Every structure is written in C-alpha cells, then in structure tokens.
Amino acid sequence: MTHLATDVLVVGAGGAGMYAAVAVAREGRSVLLLDKGLVGRGGATIMAQMTVAAAIAHEEPDDWTLHLEDTLDAGRGICHEPLSRMLCERAPERILEMDRWGTRWARENGHIKQVTAPGHRRKRCCYVDFLSTGPAVAATLRHQVSIADRVRRVSNVAAIEVCVADGRVRGAVALDLSTGSLVTMAARAVVLAAGGLTKIFRRNSASTNMGGEAYWLALEAGAELVDMEFVQFFPIAHLAPRLVGMDPIMWDPFRYKLGGRLLNGNFEEFIHRYGGQDEGRYTAPRDLASYAILKEVEAGRGSPHGGVYLDFRHLPEATVRSAFGPVIDRLLANGIDLTRTAVEVAPTAHYHMGGIAVDERLETRVAGLFAAGEAVGGPGGANRVSGNAISEALVFGERAGFFAAETAAGADPGWSPAYAERARAELADLRARKGSGPAPGVVSTELQDAMWEHAGPFRSEEGLERALARIHALRRRLPELTIAAGDVFNLDVQDWYELNAMLRSAEAVASSALRRRESRGAHQRLDAPQMSPAFEKNQRVALDHGVLTSRWSPVVRSGVRTA
Ligand SMILES: Cc1cc2nc3c(=O)[nH]c(=O)nc-3n(C[C@H](O)[C@H](O)[C@H](O)COP(=O)(O)OP(=O)(O)OC[C@H]3O[C@@H](n4cnc5c(N)ncnc54)[C@H](O)[C@@H]3O)c2cc1C
C-alpha cells in the first residue's frame, strides 16, 4: 500500500479542485491533487462550452449585488445566502485573475465581451470563442497547477473513503485504478471537489465521472447534504444524430438568436398547446418547455429517439452559417448539416443545486473537511442561473483552498494505518467474491433508468416511492455482483465503488424529493404543482448507522438582499 502525506488533499481536479490546489499552494502549504481520471481533463468543467457569469461590468454598468439579486430570485427563497453572496461578490476577482493568467475571454474593443443569458438582467456572461469556455478554463488552471511547485498531481486514483477520527479529518484512502492497490493519504485538511451527480439519470449531460462520489464520501465522513432534490433538467439537450466532442446543451443560445423551431415527431409546432409561444418567440420557461416535450413524447408524437426536433431549415442558409460561425463545420464533421437536417433534442439532467452542506468557510460539520464547486449545496437554492456554475467552481475552489490551508497551518492531527482498515477489508472482500449476478455497470444502467422514469423532471409521490423501492432493491444486490478477476484497470472494481455512491446519492435525491410536497424551481411535483410557503426551508440529509436520515432547517439568510 502506498502512503502519502500532505497538508491539504484535494479530491477531484475539475475547475474547483484545480483552483483550490492553486490557492493552497499560494498560502505556502503542500497539496495533493487527486483525480479518478486525468487531472484537469475529467468532469464537467472541460465539457462546458457556454458562459461564466461575473459582474465585471465591462459591457454595461453592473454590480455584484445585482448579480446576487438575480441568483436569489432564481433560487426561489431557499438559497444559502452567504454562499450566494460569496459567489457573486468574488466572481469578478476570479475572472480577472484568469484573464491575467491567459484565459482568452472573448473581447470587443479591448474589453471582455459579456452577453445576457437566461436569468440575468445585465450583460454579465463571459465566454471563450467558439464554444471553448470550459476547455479554456481547464487549460488555464492545468497550467497554473503545473507551475505551482507545492502541488503534487495524481491521476487515475479515486478516493473511496475520507478518514475521520475524534471528529477531525485525518486523510483519505483511495484506489489506484492502474494497479488496483490502495493508496493512503495523511492530510491536515481535505477538500471534496469531486463534482455533481447527474450521471444517476439515464439522460444526462455528464461526463462518466459524475456519479455523486463527493456526496457519498461526505456522508460517510459524517457531513450533511442539503437540498438534494434540486436537480436542474435542461429542456433541449442534444439527442440525435450522434454528436462527439461538443456540448450537448449548446443549442439554446442559437435557438434564441435565430428562432430555431421546436417541432414534434409530426413536424408540428406544439409549445402553444402547453401555454408557451411558437413562431420564434421563445418565452416558455425551461420547466414548461421540458413538460411540453415530455408530454408530446408520451402522446406518441415524439421524434424517433424519444425527443422532439429543433429545426433551422426555414432560415436562409447564409443566416444559419453566419450565426453558427466555425461551429457549423464542427457540426458537419459530426454529419449534421443544419441547412438540410433537423436535430433531435430532449430534456436531460444537467446540474445539481443540492450537495454537501458547508458554512461560510466552505467547511462541513466535520472539522477539516471542506467542499468546493458543484459538490457544494445551497448557493443556487431551487434553481441556478446560467453561467453561475463555473463561477461557483472558481470562487468556491479558491475559497476552500484558502480556508483549508489556514486549517492545515494548525497542529498535525496525525495518521494511523488503522484508519485504512475498513477500506482494506472492503476491497479484499470485493476481490474474493465469486458473484453470480451482473457486473456493477449493468446495475448502474438499471438505476439510471429508474431515476429517469420516476425521479426525473416531473415527479409524484407514487413515482418517487417506486424509485426508492428500486434503489433499495438494487442496493441489496450489491453483494452479489460479479467482479472480474485482475487488478490493473479493473473496471468492475471501479464501477462497484461508483455504483455504491450513485445508489446513495440517488436515495438522497429521491427521498428528499418525496418529502418536499410542493413544486419549487427545478423540483416539479405533478401532484403538488404550487410553491408552498411552508416549504421555504432547507432539507438536510445525514447518515446514521448506515441509514439516511433527514431534517428541515431554516434558510441561512445574509441580510444583504438589496431589493
Ligand atoms: C456539458 C456541460 C455543459 C456545461 N456548461 C456550463 C456553462 O456553460 N456554464 C456554467 O456555468 N456551467 C456549465 N456547466 C456546469 C459546470 O460545468 C459545472 O458545474 C462545473 O464545471 C463543476 O466544476 P467542479 O470542479 O465542481 O466539478 P468537475 O469539473 O465535474 O470536476 C470533478 C472532478 O472530480 C473527479 N472525481 C469524481 N469522483 C472522484 C473520486 N472519487 N476521486 C477522485 N476524483 C474524483 C472527476 O474525475 C472530475 O475531474 C456545464 C456542465 C456540463 C456537464
């Protein structure tokens, strides 16, 4: 077993994890930056191709307090306001720092160009042309991490347990995917920056690494999760034909800009049947658009792959070409000629507003355990506005790194090999199994189907109870799953840990959704369609002797709301 020691361990090397590592190093502390994929190349950050919201006021007068107002409005009364404030107040610093580090934000007449996006009343969203925002952010941070001499990068190693003794973090145990052996890591502070959970749904925009492992690591360590029911579903994600190397949620800005038509399988406009408007006036909010699409599919009027068509063919070819710019060639390389073909789109699980409960230092209730990025719950409340997720990764990454470094400056809590005993026994047991059931990856697919069918964009008590029954049945099958022999890159072992985390995250989502008997923001209940003042509160989930428990807590207000 390899043993490493560091001041701060950062789990997950997306935007949040890499920024955290840079911030720790800046404070003069050593940092181990761990990723189950390649550092800086897994997760959501590198996939994001749209915008980053920050009130830098380059395009028009703006202020972080206005950004905060928009964020709180979208959050429908249940944002953790100090975290929302931190996000909006500090986003400009991060964007400008990244500018100095060489991120090529799109510019016009010398200033950083900013555009509006759904939920923002000012032009505040920065981007990198063309559809390169996430890759550019990831590349900038990869470079910063590589030149910071106190950062040690470790790829292809997945954290499987955070070790806690006497109420404080001591480090973590991880699985080296390339050798199948365990790695133990002593750390004075740990930052969980392992991203969200949208992979638990059949239709998702996620990378393969977004199975909610941060949540399971936090729960097992004794931390709480908050508002797990709030998953954002994006109404018109790409469905077909196959699209490689492009963001599946790329269509929205083009639809707004050009007036792309949404058509059902019979090539008829349909949004008006559900209270929205057609003919190029896309005023229908995201939940209404999702509802209309799913209803058309349910009525047998869907497109061949179970969505609807997005069609630009009514527009002159020159207009389409000029609006899509070089993107048109990337689409052509995928065999999609927008002047001749309509694409199929459908709602998809895209982002998670819920997550690990932290305080204003990004610390959980476990001393020394911090969280950053999409893994954190609360700043977006019931819904997140466009562009806030990358800002959140950058801002919370930097802050969590700073506070973790501060904590690491204290006394060394010490490490004992006994902390890794449970993980060692679990892995040995997994290896010794002669399972007769399916491989873990097969069960993941069953879970994804159940979550999509019963806990997806539109929920009901009956459906959520079915989802929970299915999750419990699948959990009972964990001990009988077949694990292939071999140590080197054994995908079954890796999938087993991920499935375990996915099942727990799914249970937290479905059980929280069941208890929230109202519709608020992204949580839509068909059997409780109104927002209820009685539910203007947060829901917290914890693990008690292996059982998920929940409690309601008052919303944390900051008193900074200006209007
Ligand atoms: C397709 C897509 C497009 C998007 N577009 C936008 C956009 O335009 N604007 C916007 O604001 N937001 C967008 N988002 C959301 C935004 O990209 C994410 O919320 C944000 O990048 C999350 O950053 P993160 O660092 O928290 O997590 P991630 O970037 O997801 O990184 C998490 C990392 O943790 C690693 N990891 C997971 N489990 C473990 C483990 N057990 N051990 C070690 N490592 C682990 C993963 O491999 C991954 O590298 C988009 C998301 C997607 C999926």
Span 400-431, pLDDT tens digits: 999 999 999 998 999 999 999 999 999 999 99
pLDDT of residue 560: 67
Please tell me the residue having the least CA distance from ligand 1 atom 31.
Answer: 14
Span 129-157, pLDDT tens digits: 988 999 999 999 999 999 999 999 999 99
Span 32-82, pLDDT tens digits: 999 999 999 999 999 998 899 999 999 999 999 999 999 999 999 999 999
pLDDT of residue 505: 98
CB of 193 shorter than 6 A to ligand 1: yes
The architecture of the domain spanning 2-231+351-410 is 3-Layer(bba) Sandwich (3.50)
Tokens for 406, please give them: 């501060």
Residue 205 Cα, ligand 1 centroid: separation in angstroms?
11
* CB contact at 8 A, 32 and 152: yes
CB of 206 shorter than 6 A to ligand 1: yes
pLDDT of residue 563: 39
Q: Closest ligand 1 atom to the C-alpha of 498?
A: 41
pLDDT of residue 283: 62
- Sign of CA pseudo-dihedral 274, 276, 282, 285: negative
Residue 174 confidence class, pLDDT cut points 50, 70, 90: very high
pLDDT of residue 361: 98
Domain locations in the chain? 2-231+351-410, 235-349, 419-553
Residue 118 confidence class, pLDDT cut points 50, 70, 90: confident
Identical topology for domains 2-231+351-410 and 419-553: no
DSSP codes joined into one string, 132-201 = -HHHHHHHHHHHHHHH-TTEEEE-SEEEEEEEEETTEEEEEEEEETTT--EEEEEEEEEEE-----GGGS
Evaluate if residue 268 carries a pLDDT over 90. yes
CATH classification number, 419-553, choose in 2.70.70.10, 1.20.58.100, 3.90.1150.10, 3.20.20.70: 1.20.58.100
Strand 231-240: give its sheet, edge to edge.
231-240, 343-352, 308-311, 261-263
Residue 282 confidence class, pLDDT cut points 50, 70, 90: low
Residue 299 Cα, ligand 1 centroid: separation in angstroms?
35
CB of 393 shorter than 6 A to ligand 1: yes
Number of CB atoms found within 10 A of residue 247's CB: 17
Q: Which of 169-173, 347-351, 409-413 has the lowest mean pLDDT?
A: 409-413
CB of 15 shorter than 6 A to ligand 1: yes
Q: Closest ligand 1 atom to the C-alpha of 137?
A: 21
- Choice among 124, 255, 286, 525 that is catalytic: 286
Note the pTM of the prediction, 2 decimals: 0.97
Q: What percent of the chain has pLDDT over 90?
A: 87
Please tell me the residue having the least CA distance from ligand 1 atom 12.
Answer: 389
Residue 562 confidence class, pLDDT cut points 50, 70, 90: very low
Residue 195 Cα, ligand 1 centroid: separation in angstroms?
5
pLDDT of residue 559: 75
Q: Which of 228-242, 269-283, 492-506 has the lowest mean pLDDT?
A: 269-283
pLDDT of residue 244: 87
Indicate the average pLDDT of the chain. 95
Residue 383 Cα, ligand 1 centroid: separation in angstroms?
17
pLDDT of residue 194: 98
pLDDT of residue 280: 65
Residue 336 Cα, ligand 1 centroid: separation in angstroms?
27
Residue 241: is the preceding peptide bond cis (ω within 30°)? yes
Number of CB atoms found within 10 A of residue 172's CB: 29
Known catalytic residue at 286: yes
pLDDT of residue 207: 84
Number of CB atoms found within 10 A of residue 563's CB: 8
pLDDT of residue 281: 63
Mutate to test the pocket of ligand 1, among 129, 145, 209, 386 (most ligand atoms within 8 A of CB): 209
Give Cβ neighbours of residue 239 (< 8 Å, ≥ 6 apart).
Answer: 303, 305, 306, 307, 343, 344, 345, 346
CB of 40 shorter than 6 A to ligand 1: no
Q: 369-371 and 31-34: which strand pairing? A: unpaired
Average pLDDT over residues 322-343: 92
Mutate to test the pocket of ligand 1, among 133, 247, 390 (most ligand atoms within 8 A of CB): 390
Span 507-558, pLDDT tens digits: 999 999 999 999 999 999 999 999 999 999 999 999 999 999 999 999 999 8
Residue 369 confidence class, pLDDT cut points 50, 70, 90: very high
Give Cβ neighbours of residue 194 (< 8 Å, ≥ 6 apart).
Answer: 11, 12, 17, 36, 43, 159, 213, 214, 217, 375
235-349 folds as: Flavocytochrome C3; Chain A, domain 1 (3.90.700)
Tokens for 474, please give them: 């699948």
Residue 89 Cα, ligand 1 centroid: separation in angstroms?
22
pLDDT of residue 81: 98
Average pLDDT over residues 201-215: 94
pLDDT of residue 289: 87
CB of 407 shorter than 6 A to ligand 1: no
